[in-house]
Amino acid sequence: MEVKKDLFYTKDHEWLKVDGEEAYIGLCDYAQEHLGEIVYVELPDEDDEFEAGDSVAAIESTKAASDLFAPVAGTVVEVNEELEDAPEMLNEKPYDAWICKIKMENADDVNELMSAADYEKFLQEEA
């Protein structure tokens, strides 16, 4: 199971890649593996505003439907429209197939997230 070193992680198995005041949000390898074949992604709209912990997107797989939660508060500035036609990208390359890009409300919110090392330890405890 892959965990990228330069990302932040949540206990709900989302990843966050910070790029200045903006950040990409995606689904971790662990989550896509447990969901099975992803068949649909309901993306947020640009300019949608979220608080940390709010549902940002819905992901449906052959096994289950689940929400993707915002790791930090912010406003959606871009969505990955490729996922509408190719949701399986989340299975194939979960760390390249970001779901949305947000402008963070407060960059310090990332301090509440797990580092890669912390996330790896969290995964071991869940096993």
Q: What is the pLDDT of residues 65-74, one digit of tens each?
A: 999 999 999 9
The pLDDT score that the predictor gives to residue 126 is 81
The proportion of the chain whose per-residue pLDDT surpasses 90, expressed as a percent, equals 97
| Residue 9 pLDDT class (50, 70, 90 cuts) | very high
The CB density around residue 38, as the number of other CB atoms within 10 Å, is: 24
Confirm whether 27 is domain-assigned: yes
Confidence of residue 1 (pLDDT cuts 50, 70, 90): confident
pLDDT at 16: 98
When divided into structural domains, the chain yields a total of 1
Cα separation, 7 vs 82, whole angstroms? 22
Residue 127 lies in a domain: no
> Domain residues for 50?
6-105
Query: What's the CA gap between 50 and 54, in Å, rounded?
Result: 6
What percentage of the chain's residues is helix, strand, coil (to nearest 5)?
Answer: 25, 35, 40
Q: Is 103 left (phi over 0), alpha (psi -120 to 50) or beta?
A: beta
Question: What's the mean pLDDT when you consider all of the chain?
Answer: 96
